[in-house]
Amino acid sequence: MSGFTSYSETLKFMFQQLPMFQNIGKDAFKKDLTNTLALLNAIGNPHLNQKWIHVAGTNGKGSVSSMLAATLTAHGYKTGLYTSPHLIDFRERIRINGICISESTVIEFINLIYDKIMDLQPSFFEITVALAFYHFHKEQIDIGVIEVGLGGRLDSTNVITPILSVITNIGWDHMDMLGNTLTAIASEKGGIIKSKIPVAIGPMEEEPLRVLKNIAIDNSAKIYHDLAVDQGFERSLSLKGDYQKENIQTFTCAIEALKDLWFPLKRSVILDGLGNVTQLTGLRGRWEILQDNPFAVADTAHNEPGVKFTMTQFVNLLRRKQQELFDEYRTHIDVVPEMPRMHVIWGMVSDKDRGKILGLLPKDAQYYFCKPDVVRGYDANLLSQEAEVWGLFGESYNDVLSAYKAALNGAKPIDMIYVGGSTFVVGDLLKSLGN
């Protein structure tokens, strides 16, 4: 048994001694649930006999998980929420009614399970999942919303029997671990569908949808898909990224399933929860507006489907601003208005298909390439060179904050700034700005 006494010391042990996906990528992904089950068994199986909602998907699972947690919290349920990765503080991953797990509980758990950790040598994610269930059980939550980390079938969270499974969408991401076809990826994510447990399915292409429906039928799981969205849900939602329209569709299906499970949900309270998602859950980094004049926004979109959404929204916003200025000045024949320009702060991790994603970025922007502060962070100079092949030009910076400061210095008040490319880029900036 260890004798950790400080949070920083405990966290250092977790980050340095245990394989972490954010540091080493797929080598940290364990392709079975043996370690997770062994850890949970060692602490009395706190994941059993509890109400869980299990959320998987390529994009949107963090937003949908937070919408559901906010709704349940607003209804008075003591609601656990497990998400990953964190943006600023590790404790963000594990919350109850929006409150992060305490530092003392993290220390307590690692000391309790230390011998088992040394015996099993589990991954960082396996430890974190066990910690989440330990905390939720200890605090006697009413219900927990559990976001899948990667995939579904072999993800460490897939040790639970939920009351509801949710799959937001299926797209191209982590093909080296989940498969190089949408059918294969759907099969992996569909692994969270359980026998006779209802499943809410979000908008997606026909191919993966067919796979998920077949898995649900084989498991006698009732399917909730493509239900009409209450327009009040869209209007009330405090999360403003255009991609949230798809997420609110998934949320609607999940809410209908919960109603059929006899959860007494009231529309007025649902609207209140949606209007206060950030306050009730702590969710950040989803089309998060950093400032005005110049307008600056950060988003964690990091794969092909997510980047398509955010770049389309960013470019459309710029075009609207340009049109508004043109309309304002068109009666003044001798005046040519100064048009707003795009400034993009962009960083990536080394194991992404950078070519596909760089090809989605606007060519008429000024770029500020940077390296996120993780082991897998991709060198900014190399990224800049690769970006030039796609007609993207700019300077390189050693860190995200330096790039952001340079963009602020180079932008005029009417310009627009986007920060993204990786969850870790957004996390680095939010942490720096917070400090």
Q: What angle do CA 120, 41, 102 make, to 5 degrees?
A: 85
| d(C-alpha 283, C-alpha 81), whole Å | 11
* Statement to judge: residues 340 and 415 lie in one domain: yes
Ramachandran angles phi, psi of 65, nearest 5°: -60, -45
The share of the chain scoring above pLDDT 70, in percent, equals 91
Asked if residue 293 belongs to a domain, the reply is yes
* Statement to judge: residues 245 and 103 lie in one domain: yes
pLDDT value of residue 388: 96
The predicted-structure confidence for 351-408, as pLDDT tens digits, reads as follows: 778 888 999 999 999 999 999 998 889 999 999 999 999 999 999 999 999 999 999 9
Task: Using the structure block, give the residue that is written with the tokens 């939010």.
Answer: 430
In this prediction, residue 30 has a pLDDT band, given cuts at 50, 70 and 90, of: low
Q: What range defines the domain where residue 307 resides? A: 288-434
* Statement to judge: residues 382 and 344 lie in one domain: yes
Asked if residue 303 belongs to a domain, the reply is yes
Asked if residue 2 belongs to a domain, the reply is no
Taking CA atoms, 92 is separated from 159, 199, 399, 404, in Å, by 21, 27, 23, 24
* Statement to judge: residues 348 and 392 lie in one domain: yes
Domain with residue 391: its CATH number is 3.90.190.20
* Statement to judge: residues 168 and 217 lie in one domain: yes
Please, are residues 319 and 330 in contact by the beta-carbon 8 Å criterion? no
In this prediction, residue 338 has a pLDDT band, given cuts at 50, 70 and 90, of: confident
Asked if residue 1 belongs to a domain, the reply is no
* Statement to judge: residues 12 and 102 lie in one domain: yes
Residue 410: CB atoms within 10 Å? 16
Task: Using the structure block, give the residue that is written with the tokens 């996906």.
Answer: 21
* Statement to judge: residues 427 and 386 lie in one domain: yes
Radius of gyration of the chain (CA): 22
Asked if residue 54 belongs to a domain, the reply is yes
From 225, 255, 281, the end of a domain falls on 281
Please, are residues 374 and 424 in contact by the beta-carbon 8 Å criterion? yes
* Statement to judge: residues 260 and 124 lie in one domain: yes
* Statement to judge: residues 310 and 193 lie in one domain: no
Asked if residue 171 belongs to a domain, the reply is yes
In this prediction, residue 24 has a pLDDT band, given cuts at 50, 70 and 90, of: very low
* Statement to judge: residues 22 and 152 lie in one domain: yes
pLDDT at 411 over 90: yes
The predicted-structure confidence for 160-180, as pLDDT tens digits, reads as follows: 999 999 999 887 664 455 556
Q: Which tokens sit at 105?
A: 């509980």
Domain with residue 159: its CATH number is 3.40.1190.10
Of 18-22, 135-139, 218-222, 225-229, the one with minimum mean pLDDT is 18-22
Please, are residues 230 and 266 in contact by the beta-carbon 8 Å criterion? no
How many domains in the chain? 2
Looking at residue 30, what DSSP letter applies?
A: -
From 255, 281, 307, the end of a domain falls on 281
* Sheet of strand 365-370, all strands in order from the earlier edge strand to the far edge: 288-291, 295-298, 416-420, 342-346, 365-370, 394-397
Looking at residue 192, what DSSP letter applies?
A: G
166: helix, coil or strand? strand
From 231, 260, 281, the end of a domain falls on 281
Asked if residue 397 belongs to a domain, the reply is yes
* Statement to judge: residues 176 and 66 lie in one domain: yes
* Statement to judge: residues 311 and 206 lie in one domain: no
